[in-house]
Structure 1
């Protein structure tokens, strides 16, 4: 008999760091695939989400950023997606913020990389749709930053 489990909700903040028509992405090797992620991570108790984004960007990239505004809110409820058998207890809520670098944007090198991170890369916004950026839902939204500000909003439960 399977033991009952209590799903936990993890809140986090991600950063869309934009400079000169480019966005800063983490290169990664995740589940055997080369891919990209936005910098960011888990919220600490008592920490505002905007500060989470700022802290995580600094830890993972070495950049200090100004958090401009929240762009999107995304959920991921594991039981509703492809890996439901292993992620049924996963529920993540991510606030995704538009950020700009303070100081030299090319001085990269954080001190607390994610385990799957293999590097950092400034990518032209128009090239983002062709990348294996996870989650895929964000690719067109980020690329739209090159031509104007996409509508902020709740993206729903997306993988």
Structure 2
């Protein structure tokens, strides 16, 4: 009989950096597809989530940001989604913060880009739903920031 899988919970902080009606996204090539991600990444032990967002943004984009507020909390429990067999031990909790850039938002270029990152791009908020932005569940809430329509704070277990 197979041993039960014990998921490891990974917490991370993501940043929705908005400037002049555009959001900063990472271009990436991941699992054979071109896609986009929000800047951000894993929280270190003892590190507050807002500090993790600032650190990760600086590492990946070169920007210094002010964390304005928590927008959404998202979970991803791998056993409940498309690749359940391969991701049964995956459980991520992501805090997504609204951030504003300090200084010049045009000066991009972090010193520790993710392995899959191929670039950075400012994208108009209204165009986000048409992008291959992962996770898919963030496309509409990000685009809605252009109109001031708010989404629920807790997005749930979504891909």
Query: Is this a same-fold pair by TM over 0.5?
Result: yes
Question: Using the alignment, how far apart are the partners of 2:83 and 2:137 within structure 1?
Answer: 17
Q: In the alignment, what sits opposite 1:26?
A: 26
Contact 2:5 2:88 in 1 (8 A): no
Structure 1 moving runs of 4+ over 3 Å: 1-5
Structure 1 residues without counterparts, runs of 5 or longer:
none
Aligned partner of residue 82 in structure 2, secondary structure: coil
Write the distance in 2 (CA, Å) between the matches of 1:17 and 1:112: 18
TM value normalised by structure 1: 0.97
Question: Residues 70 and 152 of structure 1 are in contact (CA less than 8 Å); yes or no, is this contact kept in structure 2?
Answer: no
Moved more, 29-38 or 1-10: 1-10
- Could you say what secondary structure the match of 2:59 adopts? helix
Find the aligned partners of 1:6 and 1:146 in 2 and give their Cα distance: 40
The residue number in structure 2 matching 1:82 is 82
Q: Tell me, yes or no, if structure 1 residue 93 matches structure 2 residue 93.
A: yes
For structure 2, list consecutive stretches of 5 or more residues without a partner in the other structure.
Answer: none
Q: Does 1:138 align with 2:150?
A: no
SS in 1 for 2:109: coil
Shift of the alpha carbon at 1:147? 1.1
May I ask how many residue pairs the two structures share in their alignment? 159
Measure how far apart 1:152 and its partner are. 4.6
Q: CA RMSD in A?
A: 1.0
